[in-house]
Amino acid sequence: MRIAVVSDIHANIEALRAALRIIDDKRVDRIVCLGDVVGYGANPNECLALICQRTPFIVLGNHDEAAFDLSRLHHFNPHARVAAQWTHAHTTKENQDILRGLALAMDVEGALFVHGSPCRPGEWNYIITREDAQHNFGSFDQAVCFVGHSHVPEIFLQKPAQAKISKLDRTNRCIINVGSIGQPRDGDWRLSFGILDTEEWTYENVRAEYDVRSAYRKILEAGLPRILAERLLVGK
């Protein structure tokens, strides 16, 4: 089975539509979303409606949680807090209820999917360094765990390889960050997602351009912080 894994859409409908076109071209069998469908961008309702049309496999992200529970903003920076408050005000009651019903983690085809980390996923911890990853390997049994949250694509192996890997190894468990559809932060503005082939046991990170100027303009027109628009152009 070929599984497309998307994360951190962040209400960027232009990026999501572009990613789904690529996913359709690649003829994947299933889509899994790692959360943060909303937040930062100007189209929360449209993004949630579209991803719900395409897959039932969606886990909760911290910005999704904030969209229905503003008491959870204590870990947000000032710009994220403003965006979360805007998102809460502009997300329909029906969509807030959908977000409220999402699970923190799920197993699909023997892989674990979670937004931040498999260790206490509701605390929204990041996996950024090799040390972060090593701390988390004891929290799941599957051969691979997919995460988002940091917006930076990366593969962490339980037994670090000496060279860049081209194919996964079932005997060497891994944590894979697929990057972000709508708010990349690795210095590359292009959208990022991943494709896992569970039969060949391969993983592909996909990067692609999209209509970033439209997403940029919508954020400014919505009155959201300018930095949230500016960072789209540089992937930071």
Residue 114 sits in a domain whose CATH number is 3.60.21.10
What ranges make up the beta strands (E) of the chain? 2-6, 30-33, 105-108, 111-114, 144-147, 154-157, 174-177, 191-197, 202-208
The identity of residue 148, as a single letter, is: G
- Separation of alpha carbons 152 and 46, rounded Å: 24
- Separation of alpha carbons 236 and 224, rounded Å: 17
In this structure, is the dihedral angle defined by the CA atoms of residues 118, 120, 123 and 129, taken in order, positive or negative?
Answer: negative
pTM over 0.85: yes
Range of the domain at 151: 2-234
Per-residue model confidence as pLDDT tens for the chain (236 residues)? 999 999 999 999 999 999 999 999 999 999 999 999 999 999 999 999 999 999 999 999 999 999 999 999 988 999 999 999 999 999 999 999 999 999 999 999 999 999 999 999 999 999 999 999 999 999 999 999 999 999 999 999 998 875 666 678 888 999 999 999 999 999 999 999 999 999 999 999 999 999 999 999 999 999 999 999 999 999 99
Q: What is the reported pLDDT for 164?
A: 64
Place of tokens 């947000």: 76
Total domain count for the chain? Answer: 1
